[in-house]
């Protein structure tokens, strides 16, 4: 089944926040933000700004009736700055005017005086100065100290991975309208409608039931709207509370780039120890996460870095620590993979360094240490139904890895200027929110009296096609045609207390709730049909809008049963709740069974580097991926291709740059490059691994949203291999993105060690 939105997407008819027909008395919002990264606000002068014709009101923290606090995990973030500012782009005032153009004019006239304080932009500097968001976390297994003593080879190094801009096509935004009795309805482009509702209620000082949040769909989120869609919606709501007029606020691209957080840069140091058989005996790693100026989701992201610090390998002795370092950058946030990619880049770097020093290929070490059935992850979960080696060996066989190696060696021998490199990248990604209490969802399913069906869940559609998957689950369970089912908007009044659409778990959680609701409805209607046909319930099935008895078709239709159910006063609505069984995690011991299951896969990446220019092409990425039993392979392969490309962008070309004053230099799409069709891999093959799947996944179809991003990490090491083939004196470094500039320098540098 195609994505159910493809028809309206293609015709430009799909609705996003900016497409909503506004009420004619709508006002427009704009944020006045801090021009300095750290300082004390000495004075703000609104006089000139307030004199502009058409400005309605400029809101500051003083206008907030509830709490000026939007922090989700830690209450450390004001909606509007009070006396201090902590990053450039931090909201200070919210301008509401008759038009966006007027608001812009007003913004330019606000005068501010800030007494500047020292600015920290890097995690390392923050650590040296003792500037942290929260206490460090450590996951440990075995005893690294005694294990290192037994190692034949020990290597130490460091790895840096930079941030990444989400670049959702639809920028952040919301439209808030006053209803009666002080109630407010907010249409938001958010992954977390309940967060918007909860924080709006808190800031406005009203009960949650006064705030209704509705989400039609997102033009991409990628984690950037898990927490950071909230402030804009809440500002609009604050203005509605005062003005009793609708307020629309959609960020322009420049403001969005400047004011919102990104993937966290990580600066990490590692020590890896191997025995004579190249078994990794010990791994010691310290991650410095550049969290930015407030917690946002940083502690949860730091935690997931630890969960994935050993990627797809079993290492018997591990000590891993992460520090969430407070800097004067916009608070960094969730981004596809949620700290997992950063953790995996470091272990892959450690293995690459060991291989380099030992003069062998990286994949020999990788292969010898792949996780197997019964192995223990550093967080205590025992690996079961492991498909790691299965994907690895299937990839090697299917894509003829040995032939590829020969081809590359031959090519590099014959070509003095062009060099090829290849890499193998295994992934193992845990599915579930690592915070166990978040793993729940609900669905509300109505069968209308004409037989059509409306499905509401907590899932937010953001291009990943979760609505398509839930629709498939609903129509198949009810035995009706797909066109009879409609996926409703995500709305806090219909489905309450939801977890955000995140952690790749949305289709599992909400799909399972929808499945449960549909099963209950079908059971009831089977009772009605049994009465109408005078046969045992067990003999009855529904298929394609018809009723079958013992597999034989009857004249009775779905519509007729629904009509009869109405006459018999049978409930045609069902609300179901699902929570992931089995999982738990004990933070006092840092052990447990946090994941419902893991997703596995292996990518083989082939690149060609132009050693005159430092430019490169990604010739092919060949992947064997564990989808379980996919319910929609078209959608799932699309997710792999998209995530892979996003991962390649992170590793190769997307270069976030702040200057030492905390000013974003990569502040437009001309200075921040994301992969386009020319930068994407020339060829991508995705082969689904044949497995039985797991019952923990919706219809045994495993979560797919985030894991394939980490295939992109393979690109770094493929390029590195090509560089090594050209320059024997290259001093291997792990500093992503591996931009053409850095490649060029690497091609011609002479090792400082040698």
Say how many residues touch ligand MOS, by CB under 6 A. Answer: 11
Query: Looking at beta carbons, which residue is closest to ligand MOS?
Result: 223
What does the block give as tokens for 450?
A: 């004409």
In Å, how far are 234, 347, 592 from 696, measured between CA atoms?
36, 28, 17
Least spacing, CB of residue 505 vs ligand LUZ, in Å = 8
Closest CA to 578 of 506, 513, 496, 505: 513
Question: Which residue spans within 275-404 are E strands per DSSP?
Answer: 280-292, 317-326
Nearer to ligand MTE, 125 or 636 (CB): 636
Closest CA to 225 of 80, 336, 88: 336
Which one of 90-98, 282-290, 546-554, 703-711 is the stretch in contact with ligand MTE (CB under 6 A)?
703-711
Which residues does 80 contact at the CB level (< 8 Å), separation at least 6? 59, 60, 61, 64, 68, 91, 92, 93, 94, 235
Q: Does 507 bind ligand MTE (CB under 6 A)?
A: yes
Stretch that binds ligand MOS, among 132-140, 334-342, 487-495, 712-720 (CB under 6 A): 334-342
Nearest approach, Cβ of 492 to ligand LUZ (angstroms)? 18
192 or 479, CB closer to ligand LUZ?
Answer: 192
502 binds ligand MTE (CB under 6 A): yes
**Residue (503 or 525) nearer to ligand LUZ, CB:** 503
The residue within the footprint of ligand MTE, chosen from 425, 466, 480, 684 (CB under 6 A), is 466
Select from ligand MTE, ligand LUZ, ligand MOS, none the partner in contact with residue 639, using the beta carbon and a kind-dependent cut-off of 5 to 8 Å.
Answer: ligand MTE
Q: Which residues fall within 8 angstroms of residue 201, CB to CB, at 6 or more apart?
A: 66, 207, 208, 210, 211
- Between the CA of residue 77 and those of 228, 234, 296, 462, what are the distances in Å? 12, 13, 8, 26
* Of the candidate residues 37, 103, 203, 334, the single one contacting ligand MOS (CB under 6 A): 334
Task: Kindly tell me which of 338 and 379 has the beta carbon lying closer to ligand LUZ.
Answer: 338
d(CA 236, CA 213): 12
> Site residues (CB under 6 A) for ligand LUZ?
297, 300, 304, 334, 338, 433-435, 502-503
Judged by DSSP in three states, 504 sits in coil
Q: Shortest approach of ligand MTE to residue 646 CB, angstroms?
A: 9
- Give the residue, chosen from 191, 298, 381, 652, that forms a contact with ligand MOS under the rule CB under 6 A: 191
Q: Which is nearer to ligand MOS, 81 or 233 (CB)?
A: 233
Q: Does 335 bind ligand MOS (CB under 6 A)?
A: yes
CA 526/CA 266 separation, integer angstroms: 56
Sheet holding 573-579, edge to edge: 485-487, 453-457, 440-447, 573-579
CB of 707 to ligand LUZ, least distance (A): 10
Q: How far is the CB of 502 from ligand MOS (least distance, A)?
A: 3
Helix (H) or strand (E) holding 607: strand 597-610
Measured CA to CA in angstroms, residue 256 lies from 169, 228, 260, 330, 709 at distances of 11, 10, 6, 11, 23
3-class DSSP assignment, residue 592? strand
Distances (CA, A) of 93 to 33, 110, 196, 414, 450: 7, 10, 19, 63, 51
Q: Contact between 296 and ligand MOS (CB under 6 A)?
A: no
Cα 130 to its chain centre, rounded Å, is 29
What distance in Å separates the CA atoms of residue 343 and residue 161, rounded to the nearest whole number? 10
- Min. distance of Cβ 222 from ligand MTE in angstroms? 4
Q: Does 338 bind ligand MOS (CB under 6 A)?
A: yes
List the catalytic residues: 706
- Residue identified by tokens 């891999």 is 681
CB of 336 to ligand MOS, least distance (A): 5
Q: How far apart are CA 197 and CA 250, in angstroms?
A: 18
463 binds, among ligand MOS, ligand LUZ, ligand MTE, none (CB under 5 to 8 A by kind): ligand MTE
Judged by CB under 6 A, the chain residues 502 through 561 that form the site for ligand MOS are 502-503
By 3-state DSSP, what share of the chain in percent is helix, strand and coil, each rounded to 5? Answer: 35, 25, 40
Max CA-CA distance within the chain?
A: 87
The CA angle 705-700-575, to the nearest 5 degrees, is: 85
Q: 751 Cβ partners below 8 Å, 6+ apart?
A: 729, 730, 731
Can residue 221 be called a binding residue for ligand MTE (CB under 6 A)?
A: yes
Q: Which stretch binds ligand MTE (CB under 6 A): 351-359, 429-437, 502-510, 516-524?
A: 502-510
Site pattern 145..184 for ligand MOS (x: CB under 6 A): ----------------------------------------
- 17 scored as a contact of ligand MTE (CB under 6 A): no
Residue 226 interacting with ligand MOS (CB under 6 A): yes
Q: Give residue for tokens 């930068």.
A: 679
Neighbouring residues of 728: CB distance < 8 A, sequence distance ≥ 6? none
User: Among residues 204, 372, 344, which one has the least CA distance to residue 285?
Assistant: 344
Indicate which single residue of 336, 356, 512, 702 sits in contact with ligand MOS (rule: CB under 6 A): 336
For residue 605 the two structure tokens come to 């990446």
The single residue among 292, 340, 341, 463 that binds ligand MTE, judged by CB under 6 A, is 463
Count residues contacting ligand MTE (CB under 6 A)? 21
Compute the least distance from the CB of residue 221 to ligand MOS, in Å: 6
Give the N- to C-terminal CA distance of the chain in Å, as an integer. 57
Closest to ligand MTE by CB, 220 or 378 = 220
- Helical H segments across 141-184, by residue range: 144-150
Cβ closest to ligand MOS, residue 325 vs residue 460: 460
Residue 598 binding result from ligand MOS, ligand LUZ, ligand MTE, none, given CB thresholds of 5 to 8 Å by partner type = none
Total H helices, total E strands in the chain = 19, 30
Our finding on whether 699 is near ligand MTE (CB under 6 A) is: no
| Partner that binds at residue 507, options ligand LUZ, ligand MOS, ligand MTE, none, CB closer than 5 to 8 Å by kind | ligand MTE
In whole angstroms, the minimum distance from the beta carbon of 322 to ligand MTE comes to 20
Per-residue contact flags (x/-) with ligand MTE for residues 629 to 658, judged by CB under 6 A: ----------x--x----------------
Q: Sketch the per residue contact string, 695 through 714, with ligand MOS: x for CB under 6 A, - otherwise.
A: -----------x--------
Q: Show the CA angle centred on residue 509, arms to residues 503 and 512, nearest 5°.
A: 155
**Tokens 């319930």 map to which residue?**
537
Q: Is 714 in the site for ligand MTE (CB under 6 A)?
A: no
Q: Which chain residues interact with ligand MTE by CB under 6 A?
A: 220-223, 336, 462-464, 466, 501-507, 639, 642, 703, 705-706
Q: Which chain residues interact with ligand MOS by CB under 6 A?
A: 191, 221, 223, 226, 334-336, 338, 502-503, 706
């Amino acid at each position: 089944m195609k994505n159910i939105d493809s028809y309206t997407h293609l015709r430009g008819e799909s609705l996003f926040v900016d497409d909503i027909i506004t009420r004619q008395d709508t006002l427009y919002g704009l944020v006045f933000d801090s021009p300095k990264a750290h300082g004390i606000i000495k004075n703000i002068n609104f006089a000139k700004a307030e004199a502009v014709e058409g400005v309605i009101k400029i809101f500051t923290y003083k206008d907030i009736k509830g709490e000026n606090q939007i922090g989700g995990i830690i209450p450390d973030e004001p909606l509007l700055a009070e006396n201090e500012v902590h990053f450039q782009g931090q909201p200070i005032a919210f301008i509401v005017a008759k038009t966006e153009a007027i608001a812009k004019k007003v913004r330019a006239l606000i005068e501010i005086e800030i007494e500047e304080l020292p600015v920290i932009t890097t995690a390392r500097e923050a650590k040296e100065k003792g500037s942290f968001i929260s206490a460090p976390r450590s996951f440990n297994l075995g005893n690294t100290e005694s294990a290192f003593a037994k190692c034949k080879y020990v290597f130490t190094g460091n790895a840096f991975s930079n941030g990444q801009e989400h670049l959702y096509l639809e920028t952040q935004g919301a439209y808030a309208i006053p209803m009666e009795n002080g109630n407010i309805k907010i249409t938001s482009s958010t992954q977390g409608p309940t967060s918007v509702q909860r924080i709006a209620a808190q800031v406005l000082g009203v009960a949650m039931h006064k705030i209704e949040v509705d989400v039609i769909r997102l033009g991409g989120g990628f984690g950037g709207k898990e927490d950071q869609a909230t402030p804009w919606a809440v500002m609009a709501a604050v203005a509605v509370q005062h003005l009793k007029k609708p307020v629309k606020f959609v960020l322009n691209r420049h403001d969005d780039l400047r004011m919102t957080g990104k993937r966290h840069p990580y600066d990490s140091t590692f020590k890896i120890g191997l025995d004579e058989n190249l078994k990794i005996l010990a791994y010691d790693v310290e991650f410095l996460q550049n969290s930015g100026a407030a917690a946002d989701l940083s502690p949860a992201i730091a935690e997931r870095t630890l969960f994935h610090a050993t990627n797809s390998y079993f290492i018997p002795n591990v000590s891993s620590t992460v520090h969430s370092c407070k800097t004067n950058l916009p608070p960094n946030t969730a981004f596809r993979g949620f700290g997992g990619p950063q953790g995996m880049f470091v272990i892959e770097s450690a293995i690459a360094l060991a291989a380099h020093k030992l003069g062998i290929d990286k994949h020999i070490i990788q292969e010898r240490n792949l996780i197997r059935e019964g192995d223990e992850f550093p967080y205590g979960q025992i690996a079961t139904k492991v498909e790691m080696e299965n994907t690895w060996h299937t990839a090697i066989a299917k894509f003829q890895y040995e032939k590829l190696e020969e081809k590359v060696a031959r090519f590099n021998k014959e070509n003095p200027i062009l060099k090829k490199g290849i890499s193998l990248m295994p992934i193992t990604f845990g599915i579930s929110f690592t915070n166990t209490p978040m793993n729940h969802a609900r669905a509300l399913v109505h069968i209308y009296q004409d037989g059509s069906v409306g499905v509401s869940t907590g899932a937010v559609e953001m291009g990943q096609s979760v609505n398509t998957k839930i629709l498939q689950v609903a129509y198949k369970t009810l035995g009706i045609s797909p066109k009879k089912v409609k996926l409703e908007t995500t709305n806090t009044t219909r489905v309450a207390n939801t977890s955000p659409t995140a952690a790749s778990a949305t289709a599992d959680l909400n799909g399972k709730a929808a499945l449960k609701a549909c099963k209950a409805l079908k059971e009831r209607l089977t009772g009605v049909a049994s009465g109408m046909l005078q046969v045992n319930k067990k003999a009855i099935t529904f298929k394609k809008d018809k009723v079958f008895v013992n597999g034989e078709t009857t004249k009775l239709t779905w519509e007729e049963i629904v009509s009869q159910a109405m006459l018999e006063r049978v409930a045609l609505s069902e609300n179901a709740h699902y929570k992931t069984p089995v999982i738990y995690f004990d933070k006092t011991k840092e052990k447990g069974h946090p994941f419902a299951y893991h997703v596995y896969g292996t990518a083989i990446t082939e690149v060609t580097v132009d050693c005159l220019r430092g430019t490169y092409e990604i010739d092919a990425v060949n992947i064997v991926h564990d989808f379980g039993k996919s319910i929609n392979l078209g959608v799932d392969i699309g997710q792999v291709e998209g995530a892979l490309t996003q991962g390649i962008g992170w590793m190769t070309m997307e270069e976030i740059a702040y200057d030492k004053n905390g000013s974003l230099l990569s502040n437009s799409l001309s200075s921040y490059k994301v992969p386009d069709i020319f930068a994407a891999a020339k060829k991508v093959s995705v082969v689904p691994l044949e497995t039985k799947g797991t019952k923990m996944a919706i219809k045994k179809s495993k979560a797919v949203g985030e894991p394939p991003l980490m295939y992109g990490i393979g690109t770094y090491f493929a390029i590195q291999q090509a560089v090594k083939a050209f320059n024997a004196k290259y001093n291997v470094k792990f500093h992503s993105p591996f931009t053409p500039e850095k490649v060029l320098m690497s091609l011609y540098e002479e090792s400082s060690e040698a």
